[in-house]
Amino acid sequence: MKRPHRRAHFLLWLVLTPMTAVAAFAFWRLRPETPYADLPTEISENSNAVESH
C-alpha cells in the first residue's frame, strides 16, 4: 500500500512557500506610514466595530 499525499504535500509547500513569502513581503512594504490605530479618526457610526488595526 502506498502512503498517499506524499507528492501532494511536497508540491503544496513548493507552491505555498514562494507565493506566501513574496506576497507577504510586498504587502508589508505597503503598510501605512502612520498606523491606523494612531490616526485621530472617529469610529464610524455605521459600524459596531472598534478599529483593531
Q: Applying CB under 8 A, which residues contact other proteins?
A: 1-10, 12-14, 16-17, 20-21, 23-25, 27-28, 30-32, 35-38, 44, 47-50, 52-53
Q: How many helices (H) and strands (E) does the chain have?
A: 1, 0
**CB of residue 29 vs other proteins: minimum separation in angstroms?**
9
Answer whether 27's CB lies under 8 Å from 20's CB.
no
**CB of residue 23 vs other proteins: minimum separation in angstroms?**
7
The nearer residue to other proteins, 1 or 42, going by C-beta atoms, is 1
Q: How many residues does the chain have?
A: 53
